[in-house]
A and B are shown apart, each in its own frame.
Chain A
Amino acid sequence: MLKTITKFASSCLILGFVIASGMSNSAANELELVVGTGGTSSAAFSAGNGMSIASVIHGKGIKIYNYGTKGDKDNIKRLTKKKRAINLAIVSAKGLAKANDKQKKGMSGLIALGKAKGDTILLIVRNKAPKGVSKDKYSLAISEVVRVLKDTKAGEVIKNEWRDWSVSSGESAFKAAGVKRHKAAL
């Protein structure tokens, strides 16, 4: 029994690493990033699927995984919480404006992805690098995300999943929401 306990205790340590990060190294230099999106019928979920596929085909050293959440509020909460945080989130401009000051400090604006129901759809990123990943490596990974999303061929892949995909800086939307932009932002 003690043997099994020890086995499981070690298992928990390893599990804890994954839990704490929400991001992990699957291959030697590959970083797995989780993007919070929305319900399965939402534009954000479709966009997240497209981004996920595009990251595999056109990304270098990164993989984006789609996490179907409950939407804007849930995404902001998950992006800024201490443990099991997601790395990226797709939110509407209106939803982002509702984030509180503490939450806004923990995130940065990356890019505008298009429009849905008349509102601008934005991509935000968690500022804090996940446990076990250096700030530089995380920063490089975020720059790679932006590079992939700007790529025309990647855009075509994403459009197959969400036809309203149309990237832009989203500068005014982030400014209006009071969220500073990431240094890798478009």
Chain B
Amino acid sequence: MRSIKGWVMLASIAAALSPISVNASDFYKDKIVTAILGAGPGGGYDLYARTVMKHLVNHIPGKPQFIMQFMPGAGGQKAAQYFYNVASKDGTKVAKLSNMLPAFQVLRSGVKYDVRELNYIGRAASMQYVTMVWHTTGVKSLEDAQKAKQPIIFGSSGKSQSNYIVPAVMANLLGLNVKVIAGYTGTAAINKALEQGEVTGRAGAWSSWISRAGRLIKEKKVVAIAQSGLEKATDIKNGYGEQTPLLLDLAKNDDERAILRLLAADAAIGRNFSTPPGTSSSRIKLLCRAFDATMKDKAFLEEAKKRKLIVEPKTCEWLQETATAIVNTPAPLVQKAKALLGWK
């Protein structure tokens, strides 16, 4: 009798410790998981999402199939609002939403979502921003930029874009001699303006620099002087071959650090995946662990390598904590950040 009790206890403990319950396995069998994207097909969002989803479903018990649903518009707000308010909460909907959502939630008015209620399942990679200046300025480092007598003129596509936010921070918080010309139609137009001498600087995602202006870097027409994000990428060098500094490290006090964290958080949120608010905790946990397993999966890593996708994973817990911290930035600091950017 004692031995039967022992076995029952052992079985109960094993079941409790098992990350995958039988019910969860039953749930996903023959199900289809929809991956909602806040962008159109063909870009980096799509490539990351399809690659991750292809392998993620293999780590979900019951091995469901997946489909993609593209929902671009309003800088990712359309997909976010749909996902937050309409998408079913049974664990069959996963989204790869804009990395700007947490910052937008506190800096913009009228958003119809709360990222603290989204359930992040993991991050595949960060999205580091790099500030580049045109070679004829003679500026080869951030120190040079701080001493420059001529202003560095940055091209921007709009006040809500990182190509505006980063130079605005450099000018208004760090005191660099910088001017921003907004209104360019996009990255290609700013790059053209750089080559034509209309502007002398651009801040953009490192991946975007490489994909759309790799020639300018190779020919040393542009020089990296700073990077923006929460973590420093070690392989981005300035004109002297030194590691470029992280703008966050230049904060002079805690308030400045908090503002810089808020404005650079999108880089850290990066290529993130989530489920809608209201999804059961057991399914969130299951999806988080499936995501973690995917990030270590040899087949996934091989495919990512083949497609030259950067993999810098973070767990759902880390992502949730980071996003929540951004949204919980104290109101006076949010006001300062808005004032710094000229936002109302």
Contacts and interface: CB of A to CB of B under 8 A. Distances in A.
B311 interface: no
Nearest to A84: B42
Given A53-B67, A56-B32, A12 B211 contact: yes
Contact of A1 (B65, B71, B72, B235): B235
B342 interface: no
Contact of A15 (B54, B70, B211): B211
Given A1-B235, A1-B237, A8-B207, A15 B32 contact: no
Given A7-B308, A66-B69, A66-B70, A19 B43 contact: yes
A67 B41 contact: yes
B41 A22 contact: yes
A80 interface: no
Interface residues of A, number: 37
B86 interface: yes
B24 interface: no
Contact of B69 (A3, A55, A65, A86): A65
Contacts of A168: none
Question: Looking at chain B's contact residues, is the secondary structure mostly helix, strand, loop, or mixed?
Answer: mixed
A9 interface: yes
A10 B47 CA distance: 14
Of listed B46, B70, B78, B214, residue having the most chain A CB within 10 A: B70
Contacts of A18: 41-42, 46-47
Contacts of A5: 210, 214, 217-218
Given A4-B235, A5-B217, A8-B308, A56 B211 contact: no
B308 A14 contact: yes
A11 B207 contact: yes
Interface in A17-73: 18-22, 24, 26, 32, 34, 40, 49, 52-53, 55-57, 63-68
Contacts of B86: 40
Contacts of A26: 50, 54
A15 B206 CA distance: 15
A154 B44 CA distance: 32
Contacts of A86: 41
B293 interface: no
B40 interface: yes
A40 B38 CA distance: 13
Interface string B16-43: 0000000000000000101000001111
Contacts of A68: 69-73, 78
Interface in B291-326: 306-309
A13 to B, nearest CB: 8
A5 B130 CA distance: 13
Nearest to A40: B82
B174 interface: no
A23 to B, nearest CB: 8
The 8 nearest A-B residue pairs measured at CB:
A8-B210, A11-B308, A19-B42, A12-B211, A67-B70, A65-B68, A84-B42, A68-B71
Given A9-B214, A67-B70, A68-B73, 5 more contacts: A1-B235, A5-B210, A18-B41, A34-B70, A66-B69
28 contacts: A1-B217, A1-B224, A1-B236, A1-B237, A4-B206, A5-B214, A8-B210, A8-B211, A8-B214, A9-B210, A11-B211, A12-B214, A14-B47, A14-B308, A15-B47, A18-B42, A19-B42, A19-B43, A40-B78, A52-B34, A56-B32, A56-B65, A56-B67, A66-B70, A68-B70, A84-B40, A84-B42, A86-B41
Interface of A: 1-5, 7-12, 14-15, 18-22, 24, 26, 32, 34, 40, 49, 52-53, 55-57, 63-68, 84, 86
